[in-house]
Amino acid sequence: MTESSITRTARALDLIPFLLEHQGISVAELAAEFQVTQIQIMEDLNLLFVCGLPGYTPLELIDMNFEDGFVTVSDPQVLDKPRKLSKPELTTLLVSLEVMKTLAKSAVRKEISDLQVKLQSVLDRKPTIDVVVKESIDSKLEEILYAIEKGSALDIHYLSAHSDKESWRKIIPNRVYFEGRHAYVESWCITSQGERVFRLDRILELKLDAKAYVPGVENPDLGKVEEISLFVSDAARIFLEENASIIDATERVSNGYQVSVSAIDQGWLVRTMAGFGPEIAVIQPLALKNALSEHLASIRSLYV
Amino acid sequence: MADTKTERLVNLTLALLAAKRFLKKSEILRTVAGYEGSPESMDRMFERDKDDLRALGIEIEVGELDAFFEDEPGYRISRDSYSLEIPDLSPREIAYLSLAANFWKDSTLTPAAQSGIRKLKSLGIPAAMDLASTIEYRFENPKIALLEIAEAIDQSRQLEFEYQGSEVSKRKLAPYRVLLWNGFWYLVGLDLVKVEIRMFKLSRVIGEIKAVGKKNAFSIPTDFEVTSVLPTFEPDSLNTAKVAIRKGEAITLRSSGKLLSETELADLYEFNYDLAAPFLRTLIWYGDSVEILEPKELQNQIVALVGG
């Protein structure tokens, strides 16, 4: 047993008020809720079963039943209310509310802000974790969210991320996420019959298409995934940080890292790597290495 | 083996919570289950138990000597200080809080968020709805124990760590805030060597961050706002470059510049930039659609980067 008795005491004290509001919950659900094993929850219940107030006669003990795998509490003694929130609990909730507020529609923003004030009043000093989210909901995003809600399609005028070319596409947006400095729209692209992710700032224009679309069959053949291996020097470290989502593995080598990159658009990768000049080199495949040299050479030819 | 210590801590909490008046230590040791052994060892046990409960954030009130207690202090836990009391939480608010608790996915902040929401769910307020967020905010999963840093900030203790800047160096900091910005975690504080406010990216910290020295070693200026130290990307007061963009190309780039003039083959734009390196990366992304005309120095830099 590695768990400290302090941790265990905390859970034991929190179990009873939780059970009072979740009478008849199964041991399995309870274990999942408290993120411990069922064996651990049974040990906790057995421990609480013999706890109570001085005197410790049946009348003074916590009265509960869990023999059939479902837990009910008939007498919590004095443990009828949850403990107050600790500072770390309050802090983490306040920080995530702050992010949610920034990304919420204006109607919801006020509600979350009132909630923050209520929580804040319990915390006796300024929170030590701050969050600053630069992005906020603009009209383009409002419209995309509306389309997601209604399951409608959108016609988007999109600037391709890998070829600097624009085109009109018909998409069914699915979800929006923020990563790094950008917002992305996960969608089913009707035009190309496949799942595609679009970067919000590259959507130049959009129009709601009120007709309903049934997504077609998924494009089954994405081709064989080629293994990409790069050398990234310490000076180009920011490449790793900004593109963490495409990096599968990093290995420390002298003056830098050897990284494996998962299958992504190679045109985009070439353009992004090129900005780091000699600080990023392609180890394999050869075709990618050549594409990078070509991109660099085309720029060089402008100046010499 | 039964966990007698946990059992005793639970029993002690119950007894102190139920007490309508302060309980004398001798009373506690005699009546609360689990106190056994010589008077000295029971005394030590009780002292440790009090510390453990305080570590859990449970406030034990001490009633000082008065006539009733003769020469012994008394103890109790007030229901008000023990219990969660947030006025008028609505079912919608509970739903928002559930969403907030799930926000951290699998990070070092998850356990605190989860135990917090369990307590809130024990208030008996049903969540109004199952809010599913259509917007997700992805962020770097912190490897460093953020809450330990938050505690050091709370206690005004200095921090020491090794940092990967242009080279690796040891830093000593009076920490002011932990910051999540653009999806990355930062530590903001007064660099005690450079004697200025600095921002450190937590992913560049090598190894652990250690709290050193005494508590209350510094005080955070009361008017400190983290937004005041964030780099601004305001387009004035920076460097300027003139760039030729081939007709019909680099369309997204155009929106961040100012059109100066047009020729048959290209459009001439002016851009303001902060640091050369990220600006050059942006230009290089567009390949030979974009040519730097001025300044000469930036031209030299791009040529060096692309291997001239």
Interchain pair A92, B184: CB under 8 A = no
Q: Could you tell me the CA-to-CA distances from B264 to B146, B243, B245, B256, B268 in Å, in that order? A: 56, 15, 11, 22, 11
Q: Give the per-residue pLDDT at A263.
A: 58
- Mean pLDDT over A77-81 rounds to 93
- Same domain, yes or no: B120 and B192: no
Boundaries of domain holding B212: 146-228
Q: What is the mean pLDDT of the segment spanning B10-14? A: 96
Name which residue leads in pLDDT, A7 or B248.
A7
The mean predicted confidence, pLDDT, of chain A is 84
The residue ranges of every structural domain in chain A are: 5-75, 85-133, 139-209, 228-303
Catalogue the E-assigned strands of A113-272: 129-132, 153-159, 166-179, 182-189, 194-199, 203-209, 228-233, 247-253, 256-261
What is the pLDDT, as a whole number, of residue B6?
95
C-alpha dist (Å) from residue A104 to A112, A145, B96: 9, 10, 11
Whether B67 is covered by a domain: the verdict is yes
Comparing CB atoms, the residue among B7, B116, B178 nearest residue A51 is B7
Instruction: Return the CATH number at B207.
Output: 2.30.30
- Whether residues B295 and B280 share a domain: the answer is yes
Domain CATH number, residue B9: 1.10.10
Other Cβ atoms closer than 10 A to B144: 18
Report the domain count for chain B: 4
- Of A268, A283, A301, A160, nearest in space to A227 by CA: A283
Tokens of A203: 């959507």
Q: How confident is the model at residue A216 (pLDDT cuts 50, 70, 90)?
A: very low
> Nearest-CA residue of chain B relative to A6?
B52
Q: pLDDT for B162-212, tens place per residue?
A: 998 777 889 999 999 888 887 788 899 999 988 989 889 888 888 889 999
pLDDT tens digits, residue range B16-41? 999 988 998 999 999 999 999 999 99
| One domain for residues B127 and B56 | no
- Looking at A43-47, A184-188, A244-248, B46-50, which range is the least confident one? A244-248
Confirm whether B127 is domain-assigned.
yes
Out of A9, A96, A148, whose CB is closest to B6?
Answer: A9
Which residue of A101, A133, A164, A282 to mutate against B (max B Cβ within 10 Å)? A164
Instruction: Work out the mean pLDDT of chain B and round it to a whole number.
Output: 85
pLDDT at A224: 47
**Is residue B275 situated within a structural domain?**
yes
> Does residue B249 register a pLDDT over 90?
no
Domain A139-209: assigned CATH number:
2.30.30
| Residue B234 belongs to a domain | no
In a domain, B233, yes or no: no
Topology classification of domain A5-75 = Arc Repressor Mutant, subunit A (1.10.10)
Residue whose token pair is 């050091």: B152
- pLDDT for A107 equals 73
Kindly report the nearest CA distance between residue B3 and chain A, in angstroms: 8
Is position B58 within any domain?
yes
Query: Per-residue pLDDT tens for A169-215?
Result: 888 888 888 777 778 888 888 888 777 888 888 888 888 876 655 44
CB contact under 8 A, A277 and B307: yes
CB A77 within 8 A of CB B139: no
Domain stop point among B228, B262, B290:
B228
B219 and B159: one domain? yes
Averaged over B241-258, what is the pLDDT? 83
**CA triple A36-B143-A242, angle to 5 deg:** 130
What span, in angstroms and rounded, lies between the C-alpha atoms of A261 and A176? 24
Record the pTM: 0.69
Decide if A213 contacts A226 (C-beta within 8 A): no
- Quick one: pLDDT at residue A219? 38
Nearest to B182 among A77, A134, A272 (CB): A134
